[in-house]
């Protein structure tokens, strides 16, 4: 019997059923779509500036929009073909943003990209060159938030980073994109980790993986036998462990101060998907033009993991996974906890889209809302130590100053509070509203 308890974060969290239906399905490349629609805002920060025009011929991997300012990201063409209409389209955020459509013709890649499968281990670039290369390749955090990676790697002066943490937690139920990537590309991920370690100048890296993916943990233990400085840690299955602050607490037992950055406690966190993209960007000169997307759901015929070009419409993935089941109530971009229902099947896959989840009707609709019974379950579940029920009231009453004092901005929007609420109260909805209002206060 295993008496050793796996690590996890200290407060809050919930345990939804993990439902990893597609865990055993290898990553399969999705056939090229007829057209792709590439939004120029797929990341946190300023939208990229379009540098192509309608009618231009582009190659796969060619830059089509450049970053505007530092906190922004380059966007590359994920296919070869001709630039079509440039207009506002609905994306997975639920809002319309400008996007470039490209009619696909063949698959003609930029010559500078190394498309071979050979593992390139030697890291030739200097730390500065690495960051510049990552910025050039338009790599953003692929766990969902899509924060530009080069910004994360530019540690503010005066902060000392001790640990690089690699997020292989994938705590969202259903999703298996990171899991499959870890199983299929462990060596590449390790080179990616070494690149990040070199760029940050750190000696120690820890890969955190939840123990429902014991095969990945064992694989990494095997591959890392002769590696110095990189270790793998099995973590207890505990949502939202994939949150940056939660992972730091689980692995290092350090708490990021309110409003602070991971660098304040000497850590930088990158997702495994991002690490793989960084390997490809630095060693293979390949910009971020594709990603692994899980297509899953209880009634989906073939839950799958696809390697998808950015900008592919969601409908293509659904068809490849056996079509939309009749009982589908909602189609969610992302996981069931933090994902967002999409309103249109032509929504393009973006850099931050980790999965497409089809939820059956009976599970998808919200239940009737009752009054708050002050049971305190939401407080128990909040991994940030907030009082969600109070934040809901403050936000509803428009008392945003007070909500700010109650650290509403610390909320990571994991949804644990709404998940446990016995009265089905729309806690997270109001907190989200409160956060936007508090941010407005700041500006004024």
Partner 1 sequence: MNSVILYTIISLTAIGIVAAVVIYFVSKKFAVQEDERIGKVEQVLPSTNCGGCGQPGCHAFAKAVVEAGDLSALHCPVGGNAVMKQVAEILGIQAVERDPYIAIVRCSGSFEYRKKTNIYDGESSCKIAATLYSGDTGCAYGCLGMGDCVEVCDFEAMYMDEKTGLPVVIEDKCTACNACVKECPKEILELWPKGKKNQRIYVACLNEEKGSTARKECAVACSGCSKCFEACRYDAITMENNLAHIDFEKCKLCMECVDTCDVHNIITANVTPEKIQAANEQRLKREERTRKKKEEEKLAAAAAKQTSNEPAPQ
Which spans of this chain sit near partner 1 (rule: CB under 8 A)? 87-88, 90, 93-96, 340-341, 343-344, 365-366, 369, 426, 429-430, 432-433, 436
Nearer to partner 1, 17 or 368 (CB): 368
Nearer to partner 1, 94 or 106 (CB): 94
Closest contact distance (angstroms) between CB of 207 and partner 1 is: 34
The bridge status of strand 27-29 relative to strand 304-309 is: parallel
Nearer to partner 1, 309 or 425 (CB): 425
- In 3D space, the residue among 55, 411, 428, 436 whose CA is nearest the CA of residue 243 turns out to be 411
Nearer to partner 1, 287 or 434 (CB): 434
Nearer to partner 1, 232 or 342 (CB): 342
Closest contact distance (angstroms) between CB of 429 and partner 1 is: 5
Closest contact distance (angstroms) between CB of 433 and partner 1 is: 5
Nearer to partner 1, 215 or 344 (CB): 344
Q: Is 397 left (phi over 0), alpha (psi -120 to 50) or beta?
A: alpha
Question: Where does 259-354 show beta strands of DSSP type E?
Answer: 267-271, 290-296, 304-309, 328-333, 340-341
- Are 134 and 281 contacting, i.e. CB atoms less than 8 angstroms apart? yes
- H/E run at residue 82: strand 81-90
Q: How far apart are CA 131 and CA 151, in angstroms?
A: 9
- Look at the alpha carbons of 391, 395, 398, 402 in this order and tell me if their dihedral is positive or negative: positive
Quick count: other Cβ atoms within 10 Å of Cβ 114? 14
- Are 155 and 163 contacting, i.e. CB atoms less than 8 angstroms apart? no
Closest contact distance (angstroms) between CB of 84 and partner 1 is: 15
Closest contact distance (angstroms) between CB of 177 and partner 1 is: 24
Closest contact distance (angstroms) between CB of 90 and partner 1 is: 7
Closest contact distance (angstroms) between CB of 354 and partner 1 is: 19
Nearer to partner 1, 13 or 335 (CB): 335
Query: Which residue bears the tokens 């991002």?
Result: 274
74 burial type by CB count under 10 A (0-12 exposed, 13-18 middle, 19+ buried): buried
Query: Which residue bears the tokens 């509203």?
Result: 433
- In 3D space, the residue among 61, 92, 78, 71 whose CA is nearest the CA of residue 149 turns out to be 71
Closest contact distance (angstroms) between CB of 440 and partner 1 is: 12
Nearer to partner 1, 255 or 344 (CB): 344
Closest contact distance (angstroms) between CB of 39 and partner 1 is: 14
Q: How far apart are CA 360 and CA 372, in angstroms?
A: 28
Nearer to partner 1, 51 or 343 (CB): 343
Nearer to partner 1, 43 or 425 (CB): 425
State the DSSP code for 283: H
- Rounded alpha-carbon distances, angstroms, from residue 15 to 12, 19, 323, 420, 424: 10, 12, 30, 10, 17
What count of Cα atoms within 13 Å lies in the side-chain half-sphere of residue 398?
Answer: 0
Closest contact distance (angstroms) between CB of 361 and partner 1 is: 11
């Amino acid at each position: 019997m295993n008496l050793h308890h796996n690590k996890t974060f200290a407060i809050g969290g919930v345990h939804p059923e993990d439902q990893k239906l597609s865990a055993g399905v290898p990553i399969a490349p999705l056939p090229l779509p007829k057209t792709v629609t590439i939004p120029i805002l797929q990341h946190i920060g300023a939208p990229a500036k379009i540098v192509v025009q309608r009618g231009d011929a582009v190659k796969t991997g060619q830059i089509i929009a450049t970053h505007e300012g530092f906190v922004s990201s380059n966007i590359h063409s994920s296919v070869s073909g001709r630039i079509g209409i440039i207009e506002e389209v609905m994306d997975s955020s639920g809002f319309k943003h400008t996007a470039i459509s490209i009619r696909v013709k063949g698959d003609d890649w930029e010559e500078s990209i190394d498309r071979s499968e050979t593992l390139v281990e030697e890291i030739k670039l200097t730390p500065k060159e690495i960051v510049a290369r990552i910025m050039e390749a338009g790599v953003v955090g692929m766990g969902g938030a899509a924060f530009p990676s080069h910004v994360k790697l530019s540690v503010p002066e005066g902060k000392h980073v001790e640990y690089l943490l690699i997020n292989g937690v994938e705590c969202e139920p259903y999703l298996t994109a990171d899991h499959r990537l870890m199983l299929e590309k462990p060596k590449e991920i390790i080179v990616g980790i070494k690149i990040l370690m070199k760029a940050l100048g750190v000696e120690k890296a820890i890969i955190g993986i939840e123990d429902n993916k014991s095969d990945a943990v064992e694989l990494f233990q095997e591959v890392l036998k002769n590696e110095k400085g990189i270790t793998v840690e099995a973590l207890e299955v505990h949502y939202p462990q994939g949150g940056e602050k939660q992972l730091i607490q689980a692995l290092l037992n350090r708490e990021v101060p309110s409003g602070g950055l991971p660098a304040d406690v000497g850590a930088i966190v990158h997702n495994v998907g991002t690490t793989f993209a960084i390997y490809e960007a630095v060693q293979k000169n390949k910009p971020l033009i594709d990603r692994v997307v899980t297509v899953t759901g209880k009634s989906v015929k073939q839950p799958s993991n696809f390697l998808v070009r950015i900008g592919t419409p969601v409908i293509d993935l659904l068809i490849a996974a056996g079509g939309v089941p009749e009982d589908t109530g909602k189609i969610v971009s992302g996981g069931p906890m933090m994902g967002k229902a999409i309103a249109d099947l032509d929504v393009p896959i973006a850099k931050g889209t980790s999965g497409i989840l089809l939820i059956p009707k009976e599970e998808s609709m919200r239940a009737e809302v009752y009054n708050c019974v002050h049971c305190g379950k939401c407080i128990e579940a909040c991994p940030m130590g907030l009082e969600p029920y109070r934040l809901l009231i403050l936000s509803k009453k428009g008392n945003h100053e007070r909500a700010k004092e109650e650290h509403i901005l610390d909320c990571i929007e994991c949804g644990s509070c709404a998940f446990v609420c016995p009265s089905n109260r729309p806690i997270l909805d109001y907190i989200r509203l409160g956060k936007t209002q508090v941010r407005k206060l700041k500006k004024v």
